[in-house]
Amino acid sequence: MILSTDSAAAAALALALIVLVVYHLAVMRPALARVHNELRAHDEALGGGAGPLTGRLVAVEQGLAASQKAAQALENRLSTLEAFARGDLSRIGFVRYDAYDDTGSDLSYALALLNRSGDGVVLTSLYSRTETRTYGKAVQNFEPAAAASDEERRAISLAREATS
C-alpha cells in the first residue's frame, strides 16, 4: 500500500518526535541531572555548606570589608605608635666618675636621656663630702646646648651608640 505524501510526512514527523522523546528521556534527562548535581556540589565546595552561592559571596564581601576596616584601624594605630616612638627616651648613656680628688667610689654621674633623633637632656650629679649638686642641660641632635664636661659628652656618646 502506498501512502500519500501528506501522510508520509506526518508519519516521518511522528517518528522523529518519538525519537526525540526517547533521546530526551534516555540521554538528556540523566545528563541534566548530573549537571545539576555537579553545580550543587560546586556551590557546597565553594561555600563550605549548603545554600545559594550568591548568599555566600555576599558574606565573603562583608568579611572582606570588615577585614579592610580592621586593617585601616591597625594602620592608624601603628601611625600613632610610630609618632609616639619618635619622642621616647630610648637612647640612654650613663657614666659614673669621681668629680673630686677627696671622694671615692665613683659617686658622681652623668646621665644622658635622648630620643632617636638625639634630643633630650643630660643630667649631672656632682658628689662631694659636704654636698651634692645636680645639673641638667638640654641636648639637641646629640649636642649639648651649653658647655659640657668630658663625662657629659661621654654619656651623650654612649646614648648615641645605644641601639633602640
Cα separation, 73 vs 6, in Å, equals: 81
User: Which residues are within 8 A (CB) of 30 and not within 5 positions of it... i.e. 6 or more apart?
Assistant: none
Q: How confident is the model at residue 49 (pLDDT cuts 50, 70, 90)?
A: low
Asked whether residue 50 carries a pLDDT value surpassing 70, the answer given is: no
Q: How far apart are CA 97 and CA 113, in angstroms?
A: 18
Instruction: State the average pLDDT for the chain.
Output: 86
Phi-psi region of 120 (alpha: psi -120 to 50; beta: other; left: phi over 0): left
What pLDDT, on a 0 to 100 scale, did the predictor assign at position 85? Answer: 81
Instruction: Determine contact, residues 109/125, Cβ cutoff 8 Å.
Output: yes
Global pTM value? 0.53
- The confidence score (pLDDT) of residue 9 equals 82
Confidence of residue 51 (pLDDT cuts 50, 70, 90): low
What's 3's DSSP letter? P
How does residue 47 score in pLDDT terms, banded at 50, 70 and 90? low
pLDDT for 120: 93
**Higher confidence at residue 23 or residue 113?**
113
Crossing angle of helices 53-86 and 29-47, rounded to 10°: 20
Q: Give 43 or 26, the one with higher predicted confidence.
A: 26
Q: What is the per-residue pLDDT across 71-128, written as a single tens digit (0 to 9) for each? A: 999 999 999 998 888 778 889 999 999 888 776 678 899 999 999 889 999 999 998 8
Extents of the domains making up the chain: 1-49, 52-86, 91-161
Average pLDDT value for residue range 12-41: 87
